[in-house]
Chains A and B, each alone.
Chain A
């Protein structure tokens, strides 16, 4: 078990203990919610396991490095960022995918762009956002989010 896994499991146990101390009924409800979400996300996780396996098994790292590696520059970052903005993958599952891209040679900036646009911009939710918060707010937020995501990614590329 990696140290991250140890910490996460430790936190879960600690959280459960504190919750149990403060309310048995609520703790049981939390566990029920947890179980439900687990089975809801399980097929998606397995799909990603298959896809990541195929991706790393078939696409040579040199190819990924060419497309999204350091020398792909701004174009690689913008391309993968745009893909992230349009795609609708639960972010829980996107991290393993991003991790496999990174391992195969994608640059820090490209990996960060993918994750950040994926989570920050909800093209799928845009109609709902417009309806509830108004067109001006929704379009400004999503549009500027893309620019912010690019800035975050490029800065990450510089830092790491």
Chain B
């Protein structure tokens, strides 16, 4: 699973390799499931009915989620993110950071260079922390999947608590970094 970390360095070939790996894992788990179930015929019914249930739920939402992610990816540019976050401050800054982090798609390592660029431009550490955390765990399409499988109340409570706690965490990190010198990105 470590391969994902250096995905940045590999081109299309690497993506294809990952895809082939995923299909092989799927094949193996399917074979494993069939073998296991052949030993426990009594478990066939509950297992397949749960699996089918999940499959239908995913089939209803996954295409739409993918379309929303595709739209975000094309319409929300990195330049836009840097431009808006660089000058935001206060409570508004936190909200903008959360919003900007939650709309673009892509793995977390895409966000690191953006964060470094924003620090260079003088953005607050607090906002950077909120931005990175939002990028990592508040994605609008994902929130919808969360509603689907865990319910609206669960998702809403987790969302609000996450923004609150991440802001507190951002303040703490900002204080620590400010009191111990600069953050020195790209120097270590």
Contacts and interface: CB of A to CB of B under 8 A. Distances in A.
Interface of A: 1-2, 4-5, 7-9, 11-12, 15-16, 19, 26-27, 29-35, 37-41, 43-54, 56-58, 88, 91-92, 95-96, 98-100, 102, 108, 111-112, 115-116, 119-122, 124-125, 127-137, 140-141, 144-145, 147-148, 151-152, 155-156, 159-160
Contact of A30 (B75, B119, B186): B75
B146 to A, nearest CB: 5
Most chain-B Cβ atoms within 10 A of its Cβ — which of A5, A53, A125? A53
Contacts of A100: 50, 54
B55 interface: yes
A32 B69 CA distance: 11
Contacts of A108: 154
15 contacts: A4-B61, A8-B68, A12-B64, A12-B67, A27-B74, A30-B70, A34-B66, A35-B66, A35-B70, A44-B22, A45-B58, A57-B43, A92-B142, A132-B113, A133-B185
Interface residues of B, number: 87
A106 to B, nearest CB: 11
B15 interface: yes
Given A38-B62, A88-B4, A99-B149, A19 B71 contact: yes
Contacts, number: 260
A9 B155 CA distance: 18
A39 B125 CA distance: 37
Nearest to B5: A124
A133 B158 contact: no
Main secondary structure of the interface of A (DSSP, over half): helix
Contact of A137 (B43, B51, B173): B173
What secondary structure prevails in chain B residues at the interface with A? helix
Interface of B: 1-2, 4-5, 8, 15, 19, 22-23, 25-26, 29-30, 33, 36, 40, 43, 46-48, 50-51, 54-55, 57-58, 60-71, 73-75, 107-109, 112-113, 115-116, 119, 125, 129, 132-133, 136-137, 139, 141-142, 144-150, 152-154, 157-158, 161-162, 165-166, 168-169, 172-173, 176-177, 180, 183-188
Given A34-B66, A95-B146, A141-B132, A54 B112 contact: no
Nearest to B65: A8
B17 to A, nearest CB: 12
A53 B61 contact: no
Contacts of B169: 141, 144-145, 147-148
Contacts of B33: 50, 53-54
